[in-house]
Structure 1
Protein backbone atom coordinates (compact mmCIF):
# COMPACT_ATOMS: atom_id res chain seq x y z
CA UNK A 1 0.00 0.00 0.00
CA UNK A 2 1.39 3.37 -1.04
CA UNK A 3 1.38 6.47 1.10
CA UNK A 4 -1.64 7.90 -0.72
CA UNK A 5 -3.76 4.86 0.09
CA UNK A 6 -2.64 5.01 3.71
CA UNK A 7 -3.64 8.66 3.94
CA UNK A 8 -6.98 7.89 2.31
CA UNK A 9 -7.68 5.10 4.80
CA UNK A 10 -6.80 7.38 7.72
CA UNK A 11 -9.08 10.08 6.33
CA UNK A 12 -11.87 7.53 5.91
CA UNK A 13 -11.55 6.46 9.54
CA UNK A 14 -11.64 10.12 10.62
CA UNK A 15 -14.77 10.76 8.53
CA UNK A 16 -16.52 7.72 9.97
CA UNK A 17 -15.70 8.84 13.51
CA UNK A 18 -16.86 12.39 12.72
CA UNK A 19 -20.14 11.06 11.33
CA UNK A 20 -20.76 8.91 14.39
CA UNK A 21 -19.89 11.78 16.71
CA UNK A 22 -22.13 14.21 14.84
CA UNK A 23 -25.06 11.82 15.00
CA UNK A 24 -24.47 11.07 18.69
CA UNK A 25 -24.20 14.79 19.51
CA UNK A 26 -27.61 15.43 17.98
CA UNK A 27 -26.60 17.66 15.09
CA UNK A 28 -29.06 18.56 12.35
CA UNK A 29 -30.10 15.43 10.41
CA UNK A 30 -29.40 17.23 7.13
CA UNK A 31 -25.82 17.96 8.19
CA UNK A 32 -25.26 14.42 9.41
CA UNK A 33 -26.66 13.13 6.12
CA UNK A 34 -24.27 15.30 4.13
CA UNK A 35 -21.35 14.09 6.22
CA UNK A 36 -22.48 10.48 5.75
CA UNK A 37 -22.71 11.02 1.97
CA UNK A 38 -19.21 12.49 1.91
CA UNK A 39 -17.97 9.53 3.94
CA UNK A 40 -19.58 7.07 1.51
CA UNK A 41 -18.04 8.81 -1.49
CA UNK A 42 -14.64 8.91 0.18
CA UNK A 43 -14.98 5.21 1.07
CA UNK A 44 -15.76 4.35 -2.54
CA UNK A 45 -12.73 6.33 -3.72
CA UNK A 46 -10.52 4.67 -1.13
CA UNK A 47 -11.72 1.21 -2.13
CA UNK A 48 -11.07 1.99 -5.78
CA UNK A 49 -7.57 3.29 -5.02
CA UNK A 50 -6.67 0.27 -2.90
CA UNK A 51 -8.04 -2.23 -5.41
CA UNK A 52 -6.37 -0.50 -8.36
CA UNK A 53 -2.89 -0.67 -6.86
Structure 2
Protein backbone atom coordinates (compact mmCIF):
# COMPACT_ATOMS: atom_id res chain seq x y z
CA UNK A 1 0.00 0.00 0.00
CA UNK A 2 1.44 3.31 -1.04
CA UNK A 3 1.40 6.57 0.88
CA UNK A 4 -1.44 8.01 -1.22
CA UNK A 5 -3.61 4.96 -0.58
CA UNK A 6 -2.92 5.15 3.15
CA UNK A 7 -3.86 8.83 3.26
CA UNK A 8 -7.08 8.21 1.30
CA UNK A 9 -8.00 5.36 3.62
CA UNK A 10 -7.42 7.51 6.72
CA UNK A 11 -9.49 10.31 5.17
CA UNK A 12 -12.30 7.88 4.41
CA UNK A 13 -12.34 6.52 7.96
CA UNK A 14 -12.36 10.04 9.38
CA UNK A 15 -15.25 11.07 7.12
CA UNK A 16 -17.27 8.00 8.08
CA UNK A 17 -16.77 8.72 11.78
CA UNK A 18 -17.62 12.41 11.30
CA UNK A 19 -20.78 11.55 9.37
CA UNK A 20 -21.89 9.14 12.07
CA UNK A 21 -21.23 11.63 14.86
CA UNK A 22 -23.05 14.37 12.94
CA UNK A 23 -26.04 12.12 12.39
CA UNK A 24 -26.17 10.97 16.02
CA UNK A 25 -25.85 14.49 17.43
CA UNK A 26 -28.90 15.66 15.50
CA UNK A 27 -27.39 18.09 13.02
CA UNK A 28 -29.46 19.32 10.11
CA UNK A 29 -30.43 16.57 7.72
CA UNK A 30 -29.16 18.56 4.73
CA UNK A 31 -25.70 18.97 6.26
CA UNK A 32 -25.42 15.30 7.18
CA UNK A 33 -26.55 14.37 3.67
CA UNK A 34 -23.87 16.58 2.17
CA UNK A 35 -21.25 15.00 4.41
CA UNK A 36 -22.51 11.52 3.47
CA UNK A 37 -22.19 12.42 -0.22
CA UNK A 38 -18.65 13.60 0.31
CA UNK A 39 -17.89 10.37 2.17
CA UNK A 40 -19.30 8.33 -0.72
CA UNK A 41 -17.15 10.19 -3.25
CA UNK A 42 -14.09 9.67 -1.09
CA UNK A 43 -14.99 5.98 -0.84
CA UNK A 44 -15.14 5.67 -4.61
CA UNK A 45 -11.79 7.40 -4.95
CA UNK A 46 -10.20 5.18 -2.33
CA UNK A 47 -11.60 2.01 -3.93
CA UNK A 48 -10.28 3.14 -7.30
CA UNK A 49 -6.85 3.88 -5.89
CA UNK A 50 -6.70 0.50 -4.17
CA UNK A 51 -7.85 -1.35 -7.31
CA UNK A 52 -5.24 0.22 -9.59
TM-score bracket, normalised by the shorter chain, equals over 0.9
Task: Give the superposition deviation at 1:51.
Answer: 0.3
- Measured on the aligned residues, the alpha-carbon RMSD in Å equals 0.3
Residues 12-41 of structure 1 deviation map (CA, whole Å, 9 limit, x = unaligned): 000000000000000000000000000000
Residue equivalent to 1:41 = 41
Give 4+ residue runs of structure 1 displaced > 4 Å after superposition.
none
Residue equivalent to 2:12 = 12
For normalisation by structure 2, the TM-score amounts to 0.99
Specify every segment of 5 or more residues in structure 1 that has no aligned partner in the other structure, as ranges: none
Equivalent pairs counted in the alignment come to 52
For normalisation by structure 1, the TM-score amounts to 0.97
